[in-house]
Amino acid sequence: MNAAGAASPGAELRPVAVNLLGVVEQPELGSTPYRVDDDGRPYVPVGDGGIVLGLRLGESVFARDADHAAPGACLVHPDQAARHALAAYSCIGNMAVVRTGRAAGARGAVLGQRGEGGRVIAAFAQEDLARMRPADQVTVRACGQGWRPPGFPPEVAVLNLDPAVVTVLPVATGDGGPVRAGVRMIVPSKFSGNGIGRPSASWDLDLQIRAGLGVADLLLGDLVAVSDLDARYNMGYRSGWLTVGLVVHGASPLPGHGPGITPILTGPASALLAEPDEAGHTGLTEAALQRFSAAELEVQ
Amino acid sequence: MNITLNAARLVTQVLAGEVWPALADRHVYRVGPDGQPFALPGMGGVTLGVHCGDPATGYASDHLEPGASVRHREAGANMALQFLTCVGNPVRVESGPAAGALGHVIGQHAYVLVDFAPDVMAGITTGDQVTVTAVGQGLALADHPAVTVKNCSPGLLEAMPGGTGADGRLEVHVAATVPAEAIGAGAGMVSEYANTDLMGAYAGLGADLSLGLEGLRIGDIVALEESDHRFGRGYRPGYLTIGVISTGQCMLFGHGPGPSTLLSGPADAFRVVTDPDASLASWLHEGWDTSGSHPGLETAQ
């Protein structure tokens, strides 16, 4: 066993960026519109993929009667292998530029990804989202997988983060000490739902939490820690570990589903500390994310 | 089981399936808990030497599917096969040297999993056609309206010990109780398809990965704590799910031996009795021979 195995390949290597083509998704449904919730009630899923308008970072994951709604546009690719690559290589904070359609030229940034077929969630200004439509092409400047922030202990693996974005998140490391991450809350590993057992570089992890069931409110863009979860490769139970993720989509009525986190840090609890602050936590904000679509950060 | 069933109201359907090959891609390797690359057999095809009653873990295998793995070539017909087939349903081999032999469904895992007697299994291979005599979906317990029954043939339920107790609860015998921390891949999926992988059963790996589940056997009846599988598979305090271990050893992280769902409802609707003999091996294998006579269970007509 080599707990540092995940960390070593990128320790002294420079990250590369690749331009990937993402295509704005249209949500898909089967021949029946209904899904079934925890208590057997049928519902029509709204907001599960595609472009979602009006939903913003900082809103409660429980604020909308929607299913897995993400703030922005979901990007896919018509070739399944290229779609998996899009999800695997895109990182939080990567710049996304619209190439076609009425919003051509608009800049946004990657918020996270979702699993199964593979989707990248890209955040844009509301006026840009309103001019976008499914099939619009978006270039994602994908960079970050394999990169490690300087000074991080080797036991802590870093995932799905643009090299620039760690500076705007409540994540810090002391000299040779553990990484400290400010989070909204720490949840037990048994809350892990859809996404458990799947690769953390391309899937999000749904948290099985429901509004008003003893869990504090959770906002889109928050950081959350999951105890006893190792997310270096596939995500799975390991006692004494901790995984920190960014909340990228809202709640779901579907059993085993819920608000989803894109994992960003994982390691033994001795090297990765989560500091919960239910009332005062600030994760990734719209203002911070907008910096990554700005010209001055274009070259990293 | 001492219980009132609506079995007389159910209909039986004859479904076609095919023994499906093991699948790989050109990169071969997948990744274990500590980043170990592995290339291990067990999923798809016909997996020999592991039957109901045998240990679920301890093999050099990944996603071990005991016996024959069956699906249908056409997507819609395959989903019907996967959704409608129930544990305990008889399966008849229609082609190849084992034609005419009978086995039984032990669970689902994106394939219908069929256990045959060892001498029959030796003659089955990829591409063999099989017939499933499917009955069980729609089963309901009039005296336990809060409990949902899934993927369970009436004959299996009748063969299981327990039933309606004096206190009105449904007594179910289980070989093991599984904590919610063990629930791995399969969470969030529908409970009529595939199964729920259990983590914490990686035989031979680190103690920090263990949840004490290395002793599970294929065919064991297990209780999943804090699990509601009535309309999918989710974590829910106060609920309990009963399943049967239908798959074994995994090296892929977040995966492991998996129960197919049989019963689910509020925990206080059940009385769980720990019983090491609570296994399909105690019921399906009784009287097993290649002619396929299995007292107490449905036989193909």
Domain harbouring A177, CATH code: 2.102.30.10
CB A132 within 8 A of CB A51: yes
Q: What is the pLDDT of residues A209-236, one digit of tens each?
A: 999 887 889 999 999 999 999 999 999 9
Cα→Cα distances B142→B146, B159, B194, Å? 9, 18, 27
> Residue A11 — pLDDT band, cuts 50, 70, 90?
low
Q: Round to whole Å and give the CA distance between A51 and A74.
A: 6
- Asked if residue A150 belongs to a domain, the reply is no
* Domain B148-281 = CATH 3.30.870.10: no
Kindly state the helix (H) or strand (E) to which residue B158 belongs, with its residue range: helix B154-159
Domain harbouring A61, CATH code: 2.40.10.170
**Residue A20 sits in the same domain as residue A80:** yes
pLDDT of residue B286: 56
Mean pLDDT calculated for residue range B273-285: 89
For chain A, what is the domain count?
2
Q: What is the mean pLDDT of chain A?
A: 93
Q: What is the mean pLDDT of chain B?
A: 93
Please judge whether B185 and A254 are an interchain contact, meaning their C-beta atoms are less than 8 angstroms apart.
no
**Residue A125 sits in the same domain as residue A195:** no
Chain B residues in contact with A257 (beta carbon < 8 A): 188, 234
> Residue A291 — pLDDT band, cuts 50, 70, 90?
confident
Q: Round to whole Å and give the CA distance between A284 and A280.
A: 13
pTM equals 0.92
Burial of residue A197 (number of CB atoms within 10 Å: 0-12, 13-18, 19+): buried
What class does CATH assign to B11-135? mainly beta
Please judge whether B35 and A232 are an interchain contact, meaning their C-beta atoms are less than 8 angstroms apart.
yes
pLDDT of residue A110: 97
Mean pLDDT calculated for residue range A26-37: 95
Distance from CA of A250 to the nearest CA of B (A): 15
- Asked if residue A152 belongs to a domain, the reply is no
ipTM of the prediction? 0.89
Measured CB to CB, residues of chain A less than 8 Å from chain B are 1-3, 5-6, 36-40, 188-199, 206, 208, 228, 230, 232-241, 254-257
Mean pLDDT calculated for residue range B176-191: 97
Please name the residues in contact with B75: beta carbons below 8 A apart, sequence gap of 6 or more. Answer: none
**Residue A209 sits in the same domain as residue A259:** yes
Please name the residues in contact with A170: beta carbons below 8 A apart, sequence gap of 6 or more. Answer: A181, A182, A183, A223, A281, A282, A283
The full set of domain ranges for chain B reads 11-135, 148-281
pLDDT of residue A236: 98
- Asked if residue A109 belongs to a domain, the reply is yes
Chain A residues in contact with B234 (beta carbon < 8 A): 38, 193, 208, 254-257
Range of the domain at A100: 10-143
